[in-house]
A and B are shown apart, each in its own frame.
Chain A
């Protein structure tokens, strides 16, 4: 606090005789130059140059397939000479790194375009290297569609975490909420032999877990992280128990597969590359678009969002203007649970699978990571979740065409990136101020 205020302290006073000038000068002199990012770029670019370029077999070609059957225009497959392609991309990366270094030295700030462009070049170079001389196509559409598919539960989970934490409730139980949603969706869909009934039921399961979380947190002031961890165990225990008893005893009735149908959007779904990826999806995915877009607007521009953020930042201040802190937290956490429950439905009815024990397989924790990396922001969380989904998708595609990089490493990537993020490497992460703190009048 005092850090920030000191220099401006008395700007209100008319009798300012001491000028702020020397101080500011001193500041710019003493402000350390941030070398972290430029150096990272440089290292990654060198990695790309040394590994991806020079380890690519000479004369090899990397083939990318861009088309699917239903496109308006069928794009031809693209063949790129591996060495030359990787070399060009690596040089471009080096150029960006040099630019970053130059700007850092001159204390010039750069926009987000630089990391995004850099990332794109790096990933492309990697793909060229991974696919070099394999004789198989790298299916770009499959890769991207897979990325979106794998991101769906992450995005729902991250939105859930975001709504809860913005109102001050830390949610470690996203994993449990996804699992509960998957379970109830499968059971309800199977019982009523309708995937849509499953979709309707799933949010209630997630909301119930959210309800338990917020009940213990708000009413009994139990540490929210502990409640979250224990709720995960509870949901795993309950669903596994029911799976081993009821669901296996009569799987025809309770655990038969149901799948949400794909609903291609006429026209849009036929655009090359992005059409089949984005617009030939189930209603669940379209719902996800709506939820992310709505949260993007509502969190910052609506009365609901303003009050939610107030309660999460400074509950007492919210209370003094007549906002019911407990009610806001309860409502939002239950609502958030509903969102996660929907995401859970993706594991079962979303993909036409029966319920299996612990089928959420840690996705809830990646969702948590995506939310943190996205800095409690719908847009950021979306991008982070897509990034994580993409890295898993690359892992899957590469393991089918055979690649020198172990798929475990790619699967690890989201977790590693998140550790770097919370360690302050990817910029300062600043959670809602009153997160995890019970409000006691």
Chain B
């Protein structure tokens, strides 16, 4: 009866998608069960894939391929050099540049990594809250755009005292994201509209909304036809932490605070208990007295708020001017950050730093070796795909499966294991022998 109830209650729009959401929990749990080893190996595989791509497209390597059989050594040597140069540039751009002229320049990369990480962490946390609550918020992009837009407008259109201006701009950004997320949240709560679809649509709406706003003179306040806004006032900018040649700004403190807050929210607060409960089993949560529509809306409002804050921090700390490409690929990066961080606050923070590092390093790699930064997207997506499928990573490295059975029967084993779980559920037991 229960399965039937799930499958074909017609009054339930998107009943099936709801099932899909409960699957999300299976996925998230699968992710969290996979150890650090899997993560590390995934990164390794991604780097190997990246290396192969770089080799395949490198003109020097291609030319050595031409006489591969005459001098295979050339090919391998050139390949090695190309990869070494690319990845050392990646590392120098992200962590520590030992080739830099001054000590300050040497340590600048790690601060750049953190600069990149700020919006990723904030938005990643917003997405992660959704994942933990069973909601796939694909709308990071739109929420970031709205956050940045609101923060920017407050930042340049008003003159306010030093602290208040920044605070107001940040709050405005968070509100913008919260409203955008809230649309999806409220619609889901009220009508059951699937949040995946709604947030995807809202992303595109945000894009066109921004494009339209940037054509309005009352909005951009620049006096020119360029689709770019005036710069935000100094009083609204996130202040630098290290001064001088560094871009690192107070946004990183915001990111740390947000990480702690999200941890407290999910693990210690009653609201977080409701979030996790509706994520794992909305029916049981409802039966236990949780106001599921309210909690659903709140998840996307808070998640959207964090994404909006990410957009605001990006604008107020790094960009200062609002343009059509303000969000870049941040929204989708944030999803990969949350996935890599297994939807846990600390994990998301670290994943944000990792992907921020890839971006920072990618810039130097592009400048020094001509390897397009787009490769970072490839690395990111390969990592996330692999950590989502630990058996695949184990297979690549010929690692034994956790229960020590041979790999060849993996498929059947997985199936049986799950069947066993199903079979054991209603099973028998001690009471009988009592």
Binding site for B on A (CB under 8 A): 1-4, 170, 172, 216, 219-227, 229-234, 236-238, 240-242, 244-246, 249, 313-314, 362, 365-366, 368-369, 372, 406, 408-409, 411-412, 415-416, 418-419, 422-425, 428-438, 440-441
Contacts and interface: CB of A to CB of B under 8 A. Distances in A.
Interface in B156-212: 187, 190-194, 196-198, 200-205, 207-209, 211-212
B335 A229 contact: yes
Nearest to A239: B374
Contacts of A222: 27, 30, 385, 388-389
Contacts of A435: 16-17, 19-20
A429 B57 contact: no
B208 A412 contact: yes
B87 interface: no
B35 to A, nearest CB: 17
Interface in B357-376: 371-372, 374-376
Given A226-B388, A244-B372, A244-B374, A422 B5 contact: no
Given A221-B26, A227-B388, A430-B13, A422 B198 contact: yes
B201 A219 contact: no
A225 B204 contact: no
B11 A365 contact: no
Contact of B377 (A226, A227, A237): A237
Contacts of A431: 14, 16-17
B82 to A, nearest CB: 12
Contacts, number: 212
Interface string B364-405: 000000011011111011101100110110000000000000
A3 B380 contact: no
A219, A226, A408, A430 — most chain B CB neighbours (10 Å): A226
Contacts of A246: 57
B411 interface: yes
Contacts of A369: 197, 201
A425 B1 CA distance: 29
B377 A234 contact: yes
Interface in B18-61: 19-20, 23-24, 26-27, 30, 53, 57-59
B13 A429 contact: yes
B28 to A, nearest CB: 8
A221 B391 CA distance: 11
A-B pairs with lowest CB-CB distance, top 5: A237-B377, A436-B20, A244-B372, A220-B389, A223-B27
B377 A437 contact: no
B10 interface: yes
B23 A362 contact: no
Interface residues of B, number: 73
A306 B7 CA distance: 18
A379 to B, nearest CB: 21
Contacts of B138: 172, 225, 229
B42 to A, nearest CB: 12
B4 interface: yes
Contacts of A432: 16
A232 B333 CA distance: 11
Interface in B73-117: none
Interface string B259-279: 000000000000000000000
Given A223-B136, A225-B196, 15 more contacts: A1-B8, A223-B26, A225-B136, A226-B339, A234-B385, A237-B374, A362-B207, A366-B204, A409-B208, A409-B212, A415-B202, A416-B201, A424-B191, A436-B23, A440-B415
Interface string B204-243: 1101110110010000000000000000000000000000
B418 interface: yes
B83 to A, nearest CB: 15
A436 B134 CA distance: 14
- Interface of chain A, main secondary structure: helix
A429 B16 CA distance: 11
Contact of A419 (B19, B202, B374): B202
6 contacts: A3-B10, A226-B136, A230-B381, A236-B377, A416-B201, A423-B187
Contacts of B196: 172, 225
Contacts of B16: 431-437
Contacts of A412: 204-205, 208-209
A223 B23 contact: yes
Contacts of B246: none
Given A222-B388, A365-B201, A434 B19 contact: yes
B40 to A, nearest CB: 19
B7, B27, B136 — most chain A CB neighbours (10 Å): B27
Contact of A423 (B191, B376, B388, B415): B191
B336 interface: yes
Given A1-B4, A233-B332, A423-B193, A223 B388 contact: yes
B5 A1 contact: yes
Contacts of B208: 408-409, 411-412
B257 interface: no
A429 B14 contact: yes
B374 A441 contact: no
A424 B58 CA distance: 52
B372 A233 contact: no
A190 B329 CA distance: 29
A409 B1 CA distance: 47
B359 to A, nearest CB: 12
B66 to A, nearest CB: 15
A437 B5 contact: no
B9 interface: yes
A419 B201 contact: yes
Contacts of B204: 362, 365-366, 412, 415
B419 A237 contact: no
A109 B414 CA distance: 51
Contacts of A408: 208-209, 211-212
Nearest to B50: A241
A320 to B, nearest CB: 14
Contacts of B211: 408
Contact of A241 (B200, B212, B374): B374
A436 B19 contact: yes
Interface in B319-338: 329, 332, 335-336
B376 A237 contact: yes
A436 B209 CA distance: 31
B200 A365 contact: yes
A223, A432, A433, A438 — most chain B CB neighbours (10 Å): A223
Given A225-B138, A240-B374, A409-B212, A419 B20 contact: no
B401 to A, nearest CB: 13
A361 to B, nearest CB: 10
Nearest to A235: B381
